A and B are shown apart, each in its own frame.
Chain A
Amino acid sequence: MELKLTLNGRAVAASVEADTLLIDFLRAQGCLSVKRGCETANCGLCTVLMDGTPVLSCSVLALRAAGHHIQTLEGLQEEAADFAAFIADQGAEQCGFCNPGFVMNTVALLRENPDPTDDEIRAYLAGNLCRCSGYEGQLRGIRAYLDHKKGRG
């Protein structure tokens, strides 16, 4: 079936099966930041933005994205690099496999709530699993970024 959508600001038309999942479509389009960590919508690794809202691309049919604007980490490099550097300074990226999903959701969080409390950060990112870091370093990184931004602003 024919699918037309906007992917990272670029118009894309492609032929997909009715049961193609958005995650598989995106990876086939070269958006390899999108990772699969489970098959049950539990891990958050495949998080992308649909019209600016985070969705789990493993649980969305590609055709559901027809006419919508999908953003993956490939399309948000600068926005992400801004705060990701602070997470890197904590060593909290670790294996990195969960990072794209977690970073995408953090982009969404910071757009929605530019000055979140620690508890708001934890709650917003609760669906993004990480097995390496124990989460605390990710929080320290985001907190350091927010503090830095305040100091700057």
Chain B
Amino acid sequence: MDKLKTVGQPVRKKDAMALLLGKPVYMDDIVPQNCLVVKVLRSPHAHALIEEINTDVAQKVPGVVAVYTYKDVPQKRFTMAGQTYPEPSPYDRLILDQRLRFVGDAVAIVAAEDEAAADKALKLIKVKYQVLEAVLDPHEALDGPILVHPEDNWRSLCPVGADNKRNLCASEVCSDGDVEDVLSHCDYVIDHIYHTPACNQAMMETFRTYTEMDPYGRLHVISSTQIVFHVRRILANALDIPKSKIHVEKPRIGGGFGAKQTVVAEIYPAFVTWKTGRAAKMIYTREESLIASSPRHDMEVHVRLGASKDGTIRAIDVYTLSNTGAYGEHGPTTVGLSGHKSIPLYTGNLEAFRFAYDVVYTNRQSAGAYRGYGATQGIFAVESAVNELADKLGLDPVAIREKNMVREGQVMPAYYNEKTNACALDRCMSRCAQLFGWKEKFPVRDMGNGKVRAAGVAMAMQGSGISGVDVGSATIKLSDEGFYNLSIGAADMGTGCDTILAQMAAECLDCPVDNIAVFGADSDASPYDSGSYASSTTYVTGKAVERACQQLKENLCAIAAQMLECKPEDVEFTGQGVRRLDGGGEVSLMDIATKSMCGNEIPVQVTYTHSSPVSPPPFMVGMVELEVDKETGGVEVLNYVAVVDCGTPINPNLARVQTEGGIVQGIGMALFEGITYDEKGNLLENSLMQYKIPTRLDMGHLRVEFESSYEPTGPFGAKSIGEIVINTPSPAIAHAIFRATGVWHRELPITPEKVLMGMKAKG
């Protein structure tokens, strides 16, 4: 292959300077400030029925335009999960419901001329609640006496093993080989339950949406979303109006991490605008974003891992109990990754596996999609179990992984029998050990001042898009003077996909990145794309860009051939234009663009749509060095080294920052972040004061490198990077804390209190 010019370069993000200099590019910066302000009254009870609701006084507050209750909304259930139709997530929502299912569930919607009037009206809505007993513990949910969704119009569109009359959102068992038989013949079986509580994406821009009626009588939605096309369908379902009546676009997005793969804020202003005809906006407070949104699924993962004395891992049995909370968004799908993206890491010698799960409803905040999407939870469990095994056998945890890890060319029975076309996990491990200094750092070091230093390790994988489902499209157009327009439906949420897709186009078209103007995403104007989630954009949409550019080049050659009075096969594309192979002339892109607008019938705009039957996993190794204070239980991360195989890094800068950002989120999840509830179902971490995300003092020093493989089905050999990077910190940190203290922590986050109490209990 020719040397790449643009792909693989650390190109600056196209919007970087605008963002750094604070230009007004986000939803609340660009919409009219005189629109209605929409607010939601939230349930103070975990489970209740609205007996009476009186909005008369609230409606009389000056400036209040409308107050809506469950009596005013369509009665067709829908899901807010941004997934391809038919969604695996059950249709269990109404815009407003008489039954309230968690503290924070929507009771009423207020629209007012300003925020003060809306706030005042919220206080004046009189509600008589019939408070019901709540089911908060996921262990008591399945087949328990309290039903979260007893309603008859609850629907599950896909065969995911759901039954609302059992509080069951999904269930499944799958296996390969006889796991019980192999386990019974293993020398050692590690058998533990690992718990990852819900945690929050905490993107800096909270959920927000603006809606207005356009001149054609359509609902125009500007939303901070990862999924413009899914938003269109979901709003149409919620409002019970035709999809043709809705137009959704996204501006710059202040972070998503999966949170904005669920329709969280959109339905409220959309309903107000549809009813009143007035422009409206809803901006979630930070508290709302923390208590009534779409956090990671709380999962309990039971791992039984069987091995022989020499460390050969022969069988893995995983059972996951996932708590989807009050509604089922992403419930049936996140759970699958807890097994399908943890067990295959040990394909090497695996004789049998079984993976089973139940996903249950409870009266807690509804969960959703968060970077890692279940893989993070499963990998914490399986990687911890492998570290426990290594300790039990007295083997080096790096060596035990090298002995059992999946290798290139292997078929992974636990990963839908996909084959690893590209896998540099072995190289990631050896490089990471070398960079980190594993041999020197793995031995526990007492620093002599009450502090102990220790190290931990973990591996991870993820996918690249949803195989056979995700669709990515790209439209590439030659415009005046020979520049190109690239239109996409994928959503750049800060990750830089607008730029890396432009890099791919520039590579194909042999031009500078500046010659590619990127547009996206808009449900009317962009070609269809499932949206930016499931680590799909680089791999799926990237391939669509590559193919669209190939087709465009052919079309440009055809036009040029007419101009040069020869056959299309007698010319070649040069980047600056098209020339005759016989040296008999050349036309510039500008000439072709000019020609394309005069007496031309060959399109200079091409759309290509791509979907992949496979989802090639990226792989990664992370190693952490930390220091435990034996007096306080405090844990300080000193060094984190990661080596990632994402196939070809399209933009090494952006891939690196993705990795660093994911690692720091993972450190937060491991050490500080976790959602807890009181006995009444109140969520306790309802501000950034209580929900502590890492600052730049909490992360130590990061070092990231790439060990590239070449994925033949991806654009330029690329796989994905966005999600995998959050998966190693939890197991690696739990490992290092065990090394320092002799105590395994099987529940996150591992707070100083837990570390100290663990050491005391051990004596």
Contacts and interface: CB of A to CB of B under 8 A. Distances in A.
Interface residues of A, number: 52
A37 interface: yes
Contacts of B665: 131, 134
A73 B22 CA distance: 7
Nearest to A24: B115
B422 to A, nearest CB: 24
Interface string A55-81: 000000000000000001110010011
Nearest to B206: A37
Contact of A32 (B24, B496, B651): B24
Interface stretch (B346-354, B576-584, B689-697): B689-697
A144 B259 CA distance: 33
Given A43-B688, A131-B257, A97 B204 contact: yes
B286 A94 contact: no
A88 B689 contact: no
Given A88-B12, A91-B496, A96-B20, A125 B696 contact: yes
Contacts, number: 175
A4 interface: no
Contacts of B252: 95-96
A33 B253 CA distance: 14
Given A38-B687, A40-B286, A96 B494 contact: yes
B696 A135 contact: yes
A63 B506 CA distance: 52
B687 A93 contact: no
Nearest to B22: A33
A112 to B, nearest CB: 18
Interface string B689-709: 100010111010110000000
A125 B698 CA distance: 12
Interface residues of B, number: 59
Given A37-B204, A39-B287, A32 B657 contact: no
B37 interface: no
B21 A81 contact: yes
Given A40-B689, A91-B657, A103-B22, A131 B204 contact: yes
A144 B157 CA distance: 54
Contact of A129 (B12, B19, B201, B204): B204
A127 interface: yes
Contacts of A100: 22
B255 interface: yes
Contacts of A135: 660, 664, 696, 699
A99 B33 CA distance: 23
B265 to A, nearest CB: 15
B654 interface: yes
Nearest to B666: A134
Contacts of B12: 88-89, 91
Interface in A20-48: 28, 32-35, 37-40, 42-43, 45
Contacts of A137: 653, 656-657, 660
A46 to B, nearest CB: 11
Contacts of B197: none
A95 to B, nearest CB: 3
Given A88-B16, A134-B662, A134-B663, A98 B204 contact: yes
A84 interface: yes
Interface in B642-671: 651, 653-654, 656-657, 659-665
B715 to A, nearest CB: 19
Residue from the set B15, B656, B695, B701 with the largest chain A CB neighbour count within 10 Å: B695
A137 B656 CA distance: 9
B689 A134 contact: no
A39 B205 contact: no
A90 B664 CA distance: 17
B202 interface: yes
B695 A133 contact: no
Contacts of A129: 204, 688, 693, 695
B720 interface: no
Interface in B29-59: 29, 33
A5 interface: no
A94 B697 contact: no
A90 B654 CA distance: 8
Interface string A124-153: 011111111111111100000000000000
A80 B21 contact: yes
Contact of A91 (B287, B493, B656): B656
B17 A84 contact: yes
Nearest to A42: B688
Contact of A95 (B254, B693, B696): B254
A45 B26 CA distance: 14
- The residue in A99, A126, A131 that gathers the most chain B C-beta atoms within 10 A of its C-beta is A131
B200 to A, nearest CB: 10
A122 B21 contact: no
B632 interface: no
Interface in B668-687: 687
Contacts of A122: 696-697
A74 B23 CA distance: 8
A110 interface: no
A39 B686 CA distance: 11
B472 to A, nearest CB: 21
A52 B286 CA distance: 28
A13 interface: no
Given A91-B651, A91-B654, A137-B656, A40 B696 contact: no
Given A103-B20, A134-B660, A95 B204 contact: yes
Contacts of B659: 134
Interface in B184-230: 201-206
Given A38-B286, A134-B657, A95 B699 contact: no
A94 B495 contact: yes
Contacts of A96: 15, 18-20, 25, 252, 254, 494
A7 interface: no
A32 B22 CA distance: 8
A89 B24 CA distance: 21
Nearest to A43: B688
Contacts of B697: 122-123, 126
B28 to A, nearest CB: 8
A87 interface: yes
Contacts of A89: 10, 12, 653
A96 B492 CA distance: 12
A37 B657 contact: no
Given A91-B653, A91-B657, A42 B20 contact: no
B304 interface: no
B661 A133 contact: yes
A131 B737 CA distance: 25
A16 interface: no
Contact of A42 (B654, B663, B689): B689
Q: Of residues B255, B493, B657, B665, which shows the largest number of chain A Cβ atoms within 10 Å of its Cβ?
A: B657
B282 to A, nearest CB: 14
Interface in B725-741: none
Nearest to A17: B116
B684 to A, nearest CB: 14
B255 A97 contact: yes
Given A33-B24, A88-B13, A92-B657, A131 B255 contact: yes
A137 B701 CA distance: 11
Nearest to B25: A96
B175 interface: no
Given A94-B494, A96-B494, A126-B695, A45 B204 contact: yes
B726 to A, nearest CB: 11
Interface of B: 10, 12-13, 15-26, 28-29, 33, 201-206, 252-257, 285-287, 493-496, 651, 653-654, 656-657, 659-665, 687-689, 693, 695-697, 699, 701-702
A-B interface, 7 closest residue pairs, ranked by CB to CB distance from nearest: A95-B494, A33-B22, A96-B19, A97-B254, A134-B660, A88-B16, A100-B22
11 contacts: A32-B24, A35-B254, A37-B206, A93-B13, A96-B20, A97-B205, A99-B19, A100-B22, A129-B204, A131-B201, A137-B653
